[in-house]
Amino acid sequence: MTTLNDSLKQQECDISLIDVIQRILSASKDISFRLQQGALAGILGATEEENVQGETQKKLDVISNDLLKDALKASPYVYGIASEEEDFAVPGNDGGEYLVTYDPLDGSSNIDINVSVGTIFSIMKTTGNSDLAQDFLQAGTNQVAAGYVLYGPSTILVITTGKGVSMWTLDNRIGEFVLTNDKVQIPAQTKEFAINMSNQRFWAEPVQAYVADLLAGEEGPIGKRFNMRWVAAMVAEVHRILTRGGIFMYPWDGREPSKPGKLRLMYEANPMAMLVEQAGGLCRTDSERMLEVAPTEIHQRVPVFLGSKEEVERAVSYK
Ligand code: AFP
């Protein structure tokens, strides 16, 4: 049986990177266990706190964030950490070489209804910038590894170190991730799209026109009937797309207060972009390749169009 460590070594990852990845996974196994316990663990419901985005934090958001932070801070190889649930970058160890960004529990509003959520992570190298917050502001092309752990009917790790994408299923009997797909590929074409249709009236004209063409089906200019799916957790949408193709969109919209999108570049869009590109798909903002966006702040938001190559090309071609 190929172990994850063997696979990472075959991909020429050094010991320090493997250590960082294994620490993320050990925290994720703990998160997976707590999610499975659900109400039995007394963890559901909101805290009184709000995070930096002004959203109500779920208790398990806070617990997951702390589990990951503690695991990573204990690594001699981690120089700094940035999380959706931390207002500012958190220092790690001075001798460390890696920067880790993560969304500890993406889709957390799904927890109380027992629907899939996940942990998304991205790993880069420090540039040596003495200002830690600035050190993080590197384009997604600098990521050395990215992935997510999806907590669904089974717990699945999806990971890339820049040499393709593999999927690993957590075998709870042995507490290890077991390789279940070593060559994840996204089909170039699709008939499935994902977008929060309730925001339709706020979208910009090109997105209005593109989605109208999708809805027009066989009679429209695209000439095929599309199905729609919306789990409301990016991690689950991306997992569906890595499994059978599709397009996922969270575009800019004109709601007030105006934001450039809902999703965050550094710990949602960039790691997903690396996975999607490594699996043969595309991930773009409305104007550029996601991995080439020059970040201006850790909690920056971006519009996202990702998935099957030909469909993403079509979506962003509307002007
Ligand atoms: P939460 O982690 O706050 O639940 O947000 C999840 C998310 O950022 C992303 O995973 C989804 O794609 C998106 O929100 C769903 O947003 P809607 O609220 O528009 O359904």
Annotated binding site, which residues?
84, 103, 105-109, 196, 262, 268
Q: How far is the CA of 136 from the centre of ligand 1 (A)?
A: 23
Q: Are 232 and 71 in contact (CB under 8 A)?
A: no
Ligand 1 cavity residues, CB under 6 Å: 55, 106-109, 196, 232-234, 250, 262-263
pLDDT at 39: 73
Please tell me the distance between residue 233's alpha carbon and the centre of ligand 1 in angstroms: 5
Where are the strands (E) in 15-97, listed by range?
46-50, 56-58, 78-83, 90-91
Smallest CA separation from ligand 1 atom 20, residue: 232
Measuring from atom 15 of ligand 1, which residue has the nearest CA?
A: 232
Instruction: Please state the atom number of ligand 1 nearest to the C-alpha of residue 108.
Output: 4
Instruction: Report CA(52)–ligand 1 centroid distance (Å).
Output: 15
Q: Give the residue, by CA position, lying nearest to ligand 1 atom 16.
A: 232
- The structure's pTM equals 0.95
Nearest CA owner, ligand 1 atom 18: 232
> Can you point out the beta strands (E) in 126-246?
145-151, 155-160, 165-171, 176-181, 192-194, 227-228
- Name the DSSP class of 112: G
Residue 122 pairs in a beta bridge with: 101, 146
Contacts of 299 (CB under 8 A, 6+ apart): 52, 53, 84, 264, 266
> Residues comprising the binding site for Mg(2+)?
84, 103, 105-106, 268
Q: Which domains does the chain have, with CATH numbers?
A: 4-181 (3.30.540.10), 192-317 (3.40.190.80)
Residue 314 tokens read as 């079509």
Residue nearest to atom 1 of ligand 1 (CA): 107
pLDDT of the chain, 319 residues: tens digit per residue: 889 999 999 999 999 999 999 999 999 999 999 999 887 776 555 665 666 665 555 588 999 999 999 999 999 999 999 999 999 999 999 999 999 999 999 998 898 899 999 999 999 999 999 999 999 999 999 999 999 999 999 999 999 999 999 999 999 999 999 999 999 999 999 999 999 999 999 999 999 999 999 999 999 999 999 999 999 999 999 999 999 999 999 999 988 887 889 999 999 999 999 999 999 999 999 999 999 999 999 999 999 999 999 999 999 999 9
**Distance (Å, whole) CA 224 – CA 54:** 40
Q: Which of 51, 108, 109, 259 to mutate to test the pocket of ligand 1 (most atoms within 8 A of CB)?
A: 109
